[in-house]
Amino acid sequence: MTATPEVDTNPSYEGTATILNPATGAVAGTVRWTDPADVTRIATGLRQAQRSWEARGAAGRAKVLARYAVWLGEHRDEIEALLIKETGKSAVDAAQEVPLLLMILSYYVRTMEKALAPEPRSASLPFLSIKKVTVHYRPRPVVGIIAPWNYPVANALMDAIGALAAGCAVLLKPSERTPLTAEVLMRGWIDSGAPEVLALAQGARAVSEAVIDVSDYIQFTGSSATGAKVAERAARRLVPVSLELGGKDPMLVLEDADVDLAAHAAVWGAFFNAGQTCVSVERVYVLEQVYDQFVDAVVRDVRKLKVGAGEGNAFGALIDESQVAVTERHVADALAKGAKALTGGSRTAGPGSFYPPTVLVDVDHSMLCMTEETFGPTLPIMKVRSVAEAVRLANDSPYGLSAAVFSKDLERANDVALQLDCGGVNINDVISNLMCTTAPMGGWKSSGIGARFGGPEGLRKYCRIETVVAPRTTVGAGGNYYNNSQRALKTMNTMMTKLALIRPKRMAK
């Protein structure tokens, strides 16, 4: 769920700051910024608390996380009300975040003990069977999470949950644009009786840099440009990173697709959360046989949408004026190069950082709306002559986060999906891979490194692997230590070579 780069201007670290609702300009709340010099002290406290947190074992940590899940469920209304005030979201969009977290929490509470259990490995050769080989998953002490603004609740905790479950302590740096909901999440952690292994560092770039400098692992969600800077800084200390970065997700509509379903999906996938979602549908390639029918259905659906924050609206405001400016620039560029706006196309009059849902046709890859991440409410639709052309254009991008393929022939759709260069593909649906908690979610190319939450990978990524090799018997112990006998050495090498080649020789026949 990627967001654009954080602003370069750092807040003042003295006193509190006022956060405004982007939909109304009203005060949403206040926050006290963290002095970057204090981040080391915070990390030291987390590092000390992490030892006992790890010692609880997976079963003990699961009980704590279960209590936190209950707290989140009981305080959902409070969290969503603050989300709307802080981000200008519609009530529909705000209602998606806590349930996603509860799904992730429920999955890990049920599976974390098995996923993190020591894993026995068999011997590779018969004569090594005298050894007992066990792989252990040991948590990294402090995980730094730098979260974006577009989903202040989900994007902060979906990563923190995995790290905490793995036995790590978490130092969370929310976006300086949306710091308020993180304070509520922190209060819930404390109120649910959890230990002090979760802490906040509030601020912008200077605080992010401090978090990178004191953490043992970094999870960053944001733009590709900022992600590169995060990785570069972490590399100074050889600290591993997981990056979920920008996306320009394509949707392919084949000639045998259910056109109405595809149109509904495209509209929701493009305009959910005002298009401020990393896996938004940002470009659509439609086979010419169904192009006109698809465009008509999309326009029909878009004209039913109501823009505004809170209850009764389809989607709310963009996060701020800088995000509106990106959308305006991409639309203006497309129109100047020959595209047509069938809906929207210019900013909504009135207060707040709103932009109407904009459907663009007659588009091509010379236009920014087809090549750069917009992260706003645009839906460019391009006519193509063949599936091969659609695949080629879909892959003609530096991004590779996710995609969608629509066809009534599921086997054919699956074949097309496996030709797309991205981390996840939805068939006859959009965005649903985010709800598949059993599978990791991550991007290819400039869309990221590694995977985020999901599956045992979402826990093990926060661990160091420790292999313990122990003897099963004392027979033969030390028999090959500096054996000076040339005959013994030749015999051992011959035996090892023959044993190692048994399976390759069988497979080669």
Residues marked active site are found at 244, 278
What value, to the nearest 5°, has the Cα angle with vertex 171 and ends 225 and 32? 90
State the Cα–Cα distance between residues 380 and 271, nearest whole angstrom: 12
State the Cα–Cα distance between residues 250 and 232, nearest whole angstrom: 29
Residue 8 and residue 75 in contact, taking contact as beta carbons nearer than 8 Å: no
Listed residue (7, 426, 454, 11) closest to 244, CA to CA: 454
State the Cα–Cα distance between residues 46 and 26, nearest whole angstrom: 36
**Following DSSP, what letter does each residue of 461-500 receive, concatenated?**
TTEEEEEEEEES-STTTTTTTT---HHHHHHHHHHHHHHH
What strands, in cross-sheet order, belong to the sheet with 142-146? Answer: 198-200, 169-173, 142-146, 217-221, 241-244, 448-449
Tell me the chain's radius of gyration from C-alpha atoms: 26
Listed residue (370, 348, 343) closest to 358, CA to CA: 343
Amino acid at site 412 = R
State the Cα–Cα distance between residues 414 and 435, nearest whole angstrom: 19
Residue 333 and residue 11 in contact, taking contact as beta carbons nearer than 8 Å: no
